[in-house]
């Protein structure tokens, strides 16, 4: 799916490079030459921001921290160690990357707004540190005697060429990111981190990789910037404007696409530079006003940015047919895989939220090959139980063992990798991704390569009969299709145990019947299933065994016909009238 338009993209980049090169060679005015250099530098900053914030959704207000460190690394190496920028800029990239890993490792525990605010603080803190350390104004020394070796050209156009090469390099890295499991993992984290974790995506590791790559690009851009301008001051490289510009060129052009930052920089940098040159003496703040106005304008008129707005205008998706329901065929015999030994054991699991005892001393087992139903009134702790098992919540007391291994304190993605898949009560799709892409995210945990992941995903989709919807965006799916898609995402990693949280919610009765057949088929294929559901008429037909929770306590367990007659169960949950209707 990712490969289709890749050639076109490379061709476009080659064309862009050639055209830009031509533009550089025919530009003789040194002011315009500088502009031709600054556009790719800020495009690289935008690409850097996009690789991290655009794909992962964690908005960074502090990308100047990497830019500034890169600029100072290159400039200090040149001024104090006499090192050529040909080495200094790659080292700046390395410094940016290390800074990224450090910042990420410290800051990723923060989410949303808090993360953005913390990012804001890093460059501004360093700004003061560099001022205090005596680098208020650091000049790169002149080396006219061996100009080329020290990247000091009398012909300014060389800088533009170097900047162009850096930009194309950054674009290629972006494309590799965008079209691989790297990018898809980040996108899934951006759209729903909990679902991504439950589907086996190690969100921390991918975010750390993203910020390392992003920091490297920003560091290299900063290094080149220092060499081009020959003077570095803390205010210009660590200041808010540098951070803001990375974000603004990307948002203006379009977030989450390699073309966005390039288009944004190509429009905004020349515009602000020309205005600054023409009016800067009368209106000194004109550049900042242009950037501010640009970002406001884009948000008001096309919040996705220019590139996406253009794409939406010209590429229309055809409305499709819905997926067919499963005809009631012969039910597969459960006896193919007789119910076997316990594969998961919970012992004394308790979890309190403040004063609320969500789970108290829950002990239970799940046996290989069975369908186990968890029932109980609202607030009984059913979903909390699932969250404890798959690592979203850490139990206060007790132990959970799966296939002999303890699960407590494991992160959800590790638990997924061990063979536990789950769906959520409220469907948690990645809305901007196609169905196939959604399911592929669930397959990464079991796949060595991207191709294998796609193949696994296709297999899961075929098992549920969703082939016709592969290319449909998740946001356009019906509720039934969404439920199936979540199921497909959960089985794409070929789990031993599948936990379904109210899969029938909001489904019509024919859809429920179809869904039940699919669950039986999965069990016939050897998957063990634990299911939370309120639809009792369906449950008594589906499950082998019930566990009944009330106020966080297991009040009964056993086969359907014994449980529905259990007095405590009837009292707590079913109501007297129900029993007579159900068991016939």
Partner 1 sequence: MLAALPSLETILQTIAAGLLVGSTYGLMCVALGLIFGIMRLINFAQGDFLMAGMYFASIVLTTLGLSGLIGGIPALVVAVLLAIPLFMLVGVALHWTLLGRIGRASQAMTEGELHQTQLIMTLGISLILANGALMVFGSTPVSLDTPLSTQAWVLDPFGEGEILVFLNKGRVAAAAVAVAATAGLYLLLNRTSLGRRLRAAADNPLAATYMGIDVTASHRITFGLGFALTAVAGVMVATFYPFQPYVGIDFVIVMYAGVVLGGMGSIIGSFWGGLIIGLVQQLSTLVLPTQLQGTTVFLVFLLILLVGPQGLFGRSVERA
| 83 touches 182 (CB < 8 A) | no
Nearer CB in complex with partner 1: 13/392: 392
In the complex, what is the shortest distance from the CB of residue 242 to partner 1, in angstroms, rounded to a whole number? 12
196 touches partner 1 by CB under 8 A: no
- Which range touches partner 1 (CB under 8 A), out of 283-291, 330-338, 456-464, 477-485? 283-291
379 — alpha (psi -120 to 50), left (phi > 0) or beta? left
- Which range touches partner 1 (CB under 8 A), out of 175-183, 298-306, 333-341, 444-452? 298-306
Q: Which of 434, 440, 506 is nearest to 473 (CA)?
A: 434
CB burial of residue 217 (10 Å; 0-12, 13-18, 19+): buried
Which residues touch 448 (CB under 8 Å, ≥6 apart)?
none
Nearer CB in complex with partner 1: 23/106: 106
What would you report as the CA-atom Rg of the chain, rounded to the nearest whole angstrom?
Answer: 29
In the complex, what is the shortest distance from the CB of residue 305 to partner 1, in angstroms, rounded to a whole number? 12
**How many alpha carbons fall within 13 Å on the CB side of residue 313?**
8
5 touches partner 1 by CB under 8 A: no
Binding marks (x or -) toward partner 1, 230..249, rule CB under 8 A? ----------xx--x--xx-
For residues 515 and 513, give the distance between their C-alpha atoms in angstroms, rounded to a whole number: 5
Binding marks (x or -) toward partner 1, 485..524, rule CB under 8 A? ----------------------------------------
Element (H, E) at 327: none
Q: Distance of CA 124 to CAs 75, 94, 130, 396, 519, Å?
A: 19, 21, 10, 40, 55
Q: Residue holding tokens 């690394």?
A: 73
Write the DSSP symbol of residue 283.
S
Q: Between residue 390 and residue 419, which ones bind partner 1 under the rule CB under 8 A? A: 392-393
275 touches partner 1 by CB under 8 A: no
Binding marks (x or -) toward partner 1, 441..480, rule CB under 8 A? ----------------------------------x-----
Nearer CB in complex with partner 1: 425/535: 425
For residues 470 and 433, give the distance between their C-alpha atoms in angstroms, rounded to a whole number: 10
For residues 412 and 390, give the distance between their C-alpha atoms in angstroms, rounded to a whole number: 5
Q: Distance of CA 48 to CAs 17, 64, 121, Å?
A: 19, 11, 19
Write the DSSP symbol of residue 318.
P
Q: Total binding residues for partner 1 by CB under 8 A?
A: 52
- Which range touches partner 1 (CB under 8 A), out of 32-40, 281-289, 439-447, 570-578? 281-289
For residues 191 and 57, give the distance between their C-alpha atoms in angstroms, rounded to a whole number: 8
In the complex, what is the shortest distance from the CB of residue 260 to partner 1, in angstroms, rounded to a whole number? 14
- Which range touches partner 1 (CB under 8 A), out of 6-14, 159-167, 295-303, 327-335? 295-303
Q: Which of 505, 547, 550 is nearest to 530 (CA)?
A: 547
61 touches partner 1 by CB under 8 A: yes
Tokens of 2: 């990712």
User: Can you give the length of the chain in residues?
Assistant: 584
In the three-class reduction of DSSP (H, G, I as helix; E, B as strand; rest coil), residue 232 is classed as strand
For residues 528 and 501, give the distance between their C-alpha atoms in angstroms, rounded to a whole number: 14
In the complex, what is the shortest distance from the CB of residue 490 to partner 1, in angstroms, rounded to a whole number? 17
336 touches partner 1 by CB under 8 A: no
In the complex, what is the shortest distance from the CB of residue 413 to partner 1, in angstroms, rounded to a whole number? 14
Tokens of 45: 């900053």
In the complex, what is the shortest distance from the CB of residue 282 to partner 1, in angstroms, rounded to a whole number? 8
In the complex, what is the shortest distance from the CB of residue 370 to partner 1, in angstroms, rounded to a whole number? 26
Tokens of 29: 């005015």
Binding marks (x or -) toward partner 1, 95..134, rule CB under 8 A? -----------xx-xxxxxx-xxx-xxx-xx-xxx-xx--
Q: Which of 408, 278, 288, 267 is nearest to 346 (CA)?
A: 408
In the complex, what is the shortest distance from the CB of residue 277 to partner 1, in angstroms, rounded to a whole number? 16
Among 105, 283, 328, 462, binds partner 1 (CB under 8 A): 283
Nearer CB in complex with partner 1: 105/148: 105
291 touches partner 1 by CB under 8 A: yes
7 touches partner 1 by CB under 8 A: no
Among 387, 423, 434, 493, binds partner 1 (CB under 8 A): 387
Positions touching partner 1 (CB under 8 A) are 59, 61, 106-107, 109-114, 116-118, 120-122, 124-125, 127-129, 131-132, 194, 240-241, 244, 247-248, 251, 283-289, 291-296, 299-301, 303, 387, 392-393, 431, 475
């Amino acid at each position: 799916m990712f490969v289709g338009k890749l050639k076109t993209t490379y061709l476009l980049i080659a064309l862009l490079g050639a055209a830009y090169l031509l533009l550089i060679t025919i530009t003789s005015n040194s002011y315009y030459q500088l502009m031709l250099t600054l556009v790719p530098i800020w495009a690289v900053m935008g690409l850097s921001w996009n690789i991290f914030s655009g794909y992962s959704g964690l908005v960074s207000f502090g990308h100047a921290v990497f830019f500034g460190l890169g600029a100072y690394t290159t400039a200090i190496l040149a001024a104090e160690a006499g090192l050529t920028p040909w080495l200094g800029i790659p080292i700046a990239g390395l410094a940016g990357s290390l800074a990224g890993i450090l910042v990420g490792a410290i800051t990723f525990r923060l989410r949303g707004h808090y993360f953005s605010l913390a990012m804001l603080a890093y460059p501004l803190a360093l700004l003061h540190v560099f001022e205090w350390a005596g680098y208020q104004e650091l000049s790169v020394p002149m080396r006219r005697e061996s100009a080329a070796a020290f990247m000091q050209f009398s012909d300014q156009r060389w800088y533009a060429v170097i900047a162009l090469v850096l930009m194309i390099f950054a674009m290629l890295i972006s494309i590799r990111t965008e079209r691989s499991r790297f990018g898809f993992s980040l996108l899934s984290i951006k759209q729903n981190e909990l679902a991504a974790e439950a589907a086996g995506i190690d969100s921390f590791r991918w975010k750390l990789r993203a910020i390392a790559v992003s920091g490297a690009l920003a560091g290299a851009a900063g290094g080149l910037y220092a060499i081009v301008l020959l003077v570095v001051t803390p205010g210009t490289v660590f200041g808010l404007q540098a951070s803001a510009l990375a974000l603004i060129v990307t948002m203006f052009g379009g977030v989450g696409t390699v073309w966005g930052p390039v288009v944004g920089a190509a429009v905004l940098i020349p515009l602000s530079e020309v205005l600054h040159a023409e009016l800067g003496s009368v209106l000194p703040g004109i550049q900042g006003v242009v950037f501010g106005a640009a970002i406001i304008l884009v948000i008001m008129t096309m919040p996705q940015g220019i590139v996406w707005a253009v794409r939406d205008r010209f590429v229309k998706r055809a409305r499709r047919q819905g997926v067919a329901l499963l005809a009631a065929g012969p039910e597969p015999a459960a006896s193919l895989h007789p119910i076997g030994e316990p594969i998961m054991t919970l012992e004394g699991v308790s979890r309190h939220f403040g004063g609320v005892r969500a789970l108290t001393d829950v002990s239970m087992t799940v046996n290989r090959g069975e369908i186990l139903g968890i029932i109980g009134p609202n607030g009984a702790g059913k979903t909390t139980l699932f969250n404890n098992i798959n690592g979203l919540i850490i139990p206060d007391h007790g132990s959970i063992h799966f296939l002999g291994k303890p699960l407590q304190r494991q992160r959800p993605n590790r638990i997924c990798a061990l063979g536990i898949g789950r769906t959520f009560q409220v469907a948690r799709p990645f809305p901007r991704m196609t169905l196939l892409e959604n399911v592929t995210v669930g397959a990464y945990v079991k796949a060595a390569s991207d191709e294998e992941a796609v193949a696994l995903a296709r297999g899961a989709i075929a098992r549920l009969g969703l082939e016709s919807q592969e290319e449909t965006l998740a946001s356009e799916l019906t509720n039934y299709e969404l439920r199936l898609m979540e199921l497909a995402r959960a089985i794409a990693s070929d789990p031993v145990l599948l936990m379904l949280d109210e899969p029938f919610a909001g489904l019509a009765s024919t859809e429920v019947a179809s869904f039940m057949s699919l669950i039986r088929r999965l069990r016939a294929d050897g998957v063990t299933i634990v299911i939370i559901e309120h639809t009792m008429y369906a449950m008594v037909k589906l499950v082998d065994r019930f566990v009944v929770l009330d106020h966080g306590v297991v009040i009964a367990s056993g086969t359907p016909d014994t449980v529905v007659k259990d007095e405590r169960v009837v009292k707590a949950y079913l109501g007297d009238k129900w029993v007579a209707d159900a068991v016939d």
